[in-house]
Structure 1
Amino acid sequence: MTALLTMDQVALANKRVMMRVDMNVPMHNGAVSDDQRIRACLPDIKTALDANAALILITHLGRPKANETDTTYSLQPIAAHLSELLNKEVPLISDYLNGIAVKAGELVMCENIRFQAGELKDDDMLATQLANLCDVYVMNAFGCAHRAHASTHKAIAHAETACVGTLFAQEINEISSALANNSRDYPDYIQHAAVVGGSKVSGKLELLSSLSEQVDVLIIGGGIANTFIAGMGYDIGRSLYEKELVSFAVELQDKMKRQNKQLLLPSDVICAKELSEHSDTVCKTIDKIQADEMILDIGTATQTAYSNAITDADCILWNGPLGAFEYTPFATGTRTITQAMKQSAAHIVAGGGDTIAAIKKFELQRDDMYVSTGGGAFLQFVSNQELPALTMLNHKAENPN
C-alpha cells in the first residue's frame, strides 16, 4: 500500500480546505446526546484553523431521503454543539455547491451531504462540484471509509490535492498495530489476542477468518460461540446459532490448531429459559445444557480462562460483547472481561457500536486504549476487505495529477 499523504504534509495556509468528517452522532430531542465523534475531529479542525485555512466541513447525519430536506436530519444542532466546543461561530450553509464564502482562519459547515441526490450514488457530478470548492480535500471520516459515496470516494479523485487527516491516519495505524503479529519467534508467549463477541457468525465470517491469520489467540463469546459449541457436538437447547455455519466453525478450529494457535471457546456458560431482567440463571458446563435452555453469557470458569489470556497478551483487539450484557443477569461475562482489560498491561484497540456501549457501561477507561470511531469500516479493515475511500486515497497518492 502506498504511503498516504497526510494533512501535516500539505501546506494549508490561505487554502480552501474541505474536510470530510464523521459527525453522525446520536441525537435526543433535537440535541447531541453523545459527542465522541465530534470531539475526535477537534484536533484536526484546530490544526487547519491555526494554519489559517478557510475550512469547509462536510458530514452526514442519519439516513434522510435523497434530495429531500428533512429538518429532523439537519446539522444545525451539530454546528451549534461544535461552536460551543470551539468557542467559535460555525455557520451552517445550505446552498453551497455553487460556491462558499469563508475567510482564512474561519470555518463553515455544509448542510447534511445526504440531502444531495447524488451522494449515495457516488455521483461524478456531485463529487466534481465538491472538489471544485476547495484546494485541499481532507478525508477524515474513517467511519465512512467503507462507503463508496460522492463525498468519501469520487471527490477524492477529483480534488486538486487529497490527503487524510491525523484522525483517519491514526485509525489505520492503531488497528494495523493490533494486527501486526511478531510473535512467531516466541511460540510460548502470547503477544496478540482478539476478543470477538456478538450475536451471529454470519456477520463476522471475514473478520474471524482474517483474525485467525493475524493473532495468536482468538477468544470467542456471545451468540457467535454457540455455533462453535454446536460444532463440537453439544446440545445447545434453544440458543441462537447458525446451523449452516457449523462447518465453518469446525474448519476454523482445525485451522488454528494446525497453526499452533489458540481458539478459546466457553467451557461453561450462563443459561436461562428466558431473556429478561428477572431471569433465573444457572452456570453449567457446555455438556449439560437442557433442551429448554438458552446460552446467554459465558460461565465463571470461562471468565477466568479468558481473563488469564487477556493478562498474558500485550496487544488486544476487541469487537463484540461476550453475552447479552444489556440485561443484568447476563452482564457478568462482559463486565469481567472489561475488568481484565482494565488491569492488563496490553495495548487495547476496540471498535463497534455494542463494544463501545459495553466500554461505557463498565467504565473501561485507559489512556493507552484506542477506541475506533468506525463501525462497519472498522470491521472491514480488520477483515482485510477493501475500503473504497482508502483505495481511492492510495490511487490518488500514486497518481496525484
Structure 2
Amino acid sequence: MGEYVGERKVRFVEDVIGPQAQEEIRKLKVGEILVLDNLRLCSEENIEASAEKLLKTIFVQRLSPLMDIYVNDAFATAHRSQASLVAFPEIVLGIAGKTMEKELKILDTILKKPKRPCLYLLSGAKVKDRIKVVEYVLKTGNADKILVGGLLAEIFLKAKGYKLGVVNEEKLKKYSDLLDKAKTLLETYKDKIVLPKDLALNKNGERLEVSLENTPFENKISDLGSATVELYSNLIKDAGLIVAAGPPGIFETKPFDWATKKLLEAMVESKAYKILGGGHLGGAAEILGLKEKFNHISTGGGAMLTYLSGQKLPAVEALKRSAKKFKKNP
C-alpha cells in the first residue's frame, strides 16, 4: 500500500479486534494509515446474517466505537452479508469508495442502457449464478444473445436432449434443478441462447474436436470446438456490448485454453464496449497481455453476476440505508 499513498505512513498490526489493534487505532495521527490483519481470522466475520444480528457481535462492538466514518471499496465482497460489510454502516456514516462507485456505475449502465446488440458470453464453474443472469437479462430484454461455454454449456446441451456420455453426465446429476430451468429457458428464448456446434474432448491429454452430431462422447468435455469459436467470434464482431464471465474451457491446461484465447482475441478486435468478470477470465486476459484492451475488468466476478441477475447486493444496500439514516441525523 505504501507504494500508492506517497509519503503517508503505513503501519500493519497483526491483530483485528484485540487490545493491540485497538491501541494502534487510537494512536493514529491525521494522515496515517493502519492496516489490520485479515478480518476473516475472526469467526464472526464469516457469519452471513442480517445487519441487526451482526450488530450484536463482539467484532462490531469492539471496532465501531473507534470509527468516525466507514468507507467500503470492496466491490468483490458486496454480495455477502457479513459484519464488516453491513453492520458498521448502521452505526456510522457509510460511503462507497471510488472502485465501488465505478463498478456500480458501469453495471447500472449495462442493465439500464445497454449498447446493441448486447451479447453475454457466460462460462465457468459457478453455473447457478450464471443461470440466474441468463434468466434475468433475457426476461428484462437487456441481452440480445447469450453464448454459453464450460459447464453451463453442458447443462444447456443436456437440457436440449443431447447425450453427452457417462463421463460428462455423471457430474450433471447434482444440477437436476438447473437442467429443468435450462430447458424452460431454451423453450422460452430459443433464438437468443446460442449453444455450441462442436466441442473439444480430452483424449489422453490430446485435443479431440467432435461435432454435436456424434454424441454420446467417451471422453471428458474440456473446451469449445473450432466451429463454435468461429460462430461466437462472428457474433462478437458485430456486438455493441459484450459482457463475459468465466473461461469457456479448462484454461489452466493446454491445449484446452485455445477457445478462451481465441474468444478473448475476438473481443479485443470487436469495436464493442467490452466488460470481463473478475477471476479466471480476467486473469487469462492479463496472461495474454490483453488486459488493457478491455473497457472494464470487474474486481468481483461473484458480485458482478449477482448484480446482473437483478439481485440486491447486501453491502450496497447497507450503504444506501446509512446515507438515508445519517442524512436525517447528521
TM tier, shorter chain? 0.7 to 0.9
Q: Are 2:138 and 1:218 aligned?
A: no
CA-to-aligned-CA distance 1:154-177 (integer Å, 9 cap, x gap): 101101x22111111111112222
Picking from 92, 101, 105, the partner of 2:12 is: 92
- Give 1:215 shift: 1.0
User: Aligned AA for 1:287?
Assistant: E
Picking from 163, 184, 194, the partner of 1:235 is: 163
- Give 1:219 shift: 0.7
Q: Percent identity?
A: 28
Q: Are 2:183 and 1:250 aligned?
A: yes
Q: Which protein has greater RCO, CA pairs closer than 8 Å, 6+ apart?
A: 2
The separation in 2 between residues aligned to 1:110 and 1:210, in whole angstroms, is: 39
- Say whether the 8 Å CA contact 1:195–1:220 is kept in structure 2: yes
Structure 2: stretches of 5+ with no match in the other structure? 48-53
- Say whether the 8 Å CA contact 2:134–2:309 is kept in structure 1: yes
The separation in 2 between residues aligned to 1:163 and 1:203, in whole angstroms, is: 27
The separation in 1 between residues aligned to 2:182 and 2:37, in whole angstroms, is: 46
- Say whether the 8 Å CA contact 2:160–2:186 is kept in structure 1: no
Picking from 282, 301, 304, the partner of 1:375 is: 301
User: What SS does the aligned partner of 2:189 have?
Assistant: helix
- Say whether the 8 Å CA contact 1:230–1:236 is kept in structure 2: yes
Which shifted more, 246-255 or 150-159? 246-255
- Give 1:221 shift: 0.6
Picking from 347, 365, 370, the partner of 2:273 is: 347
CA-to-aligned-CA distance 1:358-378 (integer Å, 9 cap, x gap): 222332223552111113222
Structure 1: stretches of 5+ with no match in the other structure? 1-81, 184-189
User: What SS does the aligned partner of 2:200 have?
Assistant: strand
- Give 1:203 shift: 4.9
The separation in 2 between residues aligned to 1:216 and 1:192, in whole angstroms, is: 5
- Say whether the 8 Å CA contact 2:45–2:84 is kept in structure 1: yes
Picking from 252, 255, 272, the partner of 1:326 is: 252
- Say whether the 8 Å CA contact 1:342–1:364 is kept in structure 2: yes
Give the direction of change, closer, same or farther, for the CA distance of 1:304–1:385 in structure 2 (3 Å limit): same
The separation in 1 between residues aligned to 2:126 and 2:74, in whole angstroms, is: 27
Give the direction of change, closer, same or farther, for the CA distance of 1:113–1:175 in structure 2 (3 Å limit): same
The separation in 2 between residues aligned to 1:312 and 1:90, in whole angstroms, is: 48
The separation in 2 between residues aligned to 1:272 and 1:231, in whole angstroms, is: 22
User: What SS does the aligned partner of 2:249 have?
Assistant: coil
Q: Are 2:201 and 1:281 aligned?
A: no
Picking from 151, 160, 172, the partner of 2:84 is: 151
- Say whether the 8 Å CA contact 2:224–2:249 is kept in structure 1: yes
Where do residues 183-198 of structure 1 align in structure 2 (5 Å cutoff)?
190-198=116-124
The separation in 1 between residues aligned to 2:162 and 2:304, in whole angstroms, is: 33
Question: Which residue of structure 2 lines up, in the alignment, with residue 398 of structure 1?
Answer: 324
- Give 1:87 shift: 4.3
Question: Which residue of structure 2 lines up, in the alignment, with residue 295 of structure 1?
Answer: 221
- Say whether the 8 Å CA contact 2:198–2:227 is kept in structure 1: yes
The separation in 2 between residues aligned to 1:87 and 1:127, in whole angstroms, is: 31
User: Aligned AA for 2:136?
Assistant: S
- Say whether the 8 Å CA contact 1:350–1:356 is kept in structure 2: yes
The separation in 1 between residues aligned to 2:114 and 2:236, in whole angstroms, is: 17
Q: Are 2:280 and 1:360 aligned?
A: no
- Say whether the 8 Å CA contact 1:174–1:349 is kept in structure 2: no
CA-to-aligned-CA distance 1:277-317 (integer Å, 9 cap, x gap): xx233222101134412322111111111011111112111
Give the direction of change, closer, same or farther, for the CA distance of 1:280–1:107 in structure 2 (3 Å limit): closer
- Give 1:123 shift: 4.5
User: Aligned AA for 2:159?
Assistant: G
Superposed structure 1 runs of 4+ greater than 4 Å apart: none
- Give 1:136 shift: 1.9
Normalising by the residue count of structure 2, what TM-score does the alignment of the two structures yield? Answer: 0.84
Give the direction of change, closer, same or farther, for the CA distance of 1:199–1:376 in structure 2 (3 Å limit): closer
- Give 1:181 shift: 4.7
- Give 1:128 shift: 4.3
The separation in 1 between residues aligned to 2:152 and 2:194, in whole angstroms, is: 12
Give the direction of change, closer, same or farther, for the CA distance of 1:118–1:272 in structure 2 (3 Å limit): closer
Give the direction of change, closer, same or farther, for the CA distance of 1:112–1:295 in structure 2 (3 Å limit): closer
* More helix per residue: 2
Where do residues 260-275 of structure 1 align in structure 2 (5 Å cutoff)?
262-274=192-204
Tell me the number of residue pairs that the alignment of Structure 1 and Structure 2 aligns. Answer: 306
Which shifted more, 339-348 or 247-256? 247-256
Normalising by the residue count of structure 1, what TM-score does the alignment of the two structures yield? Answer: 0.70
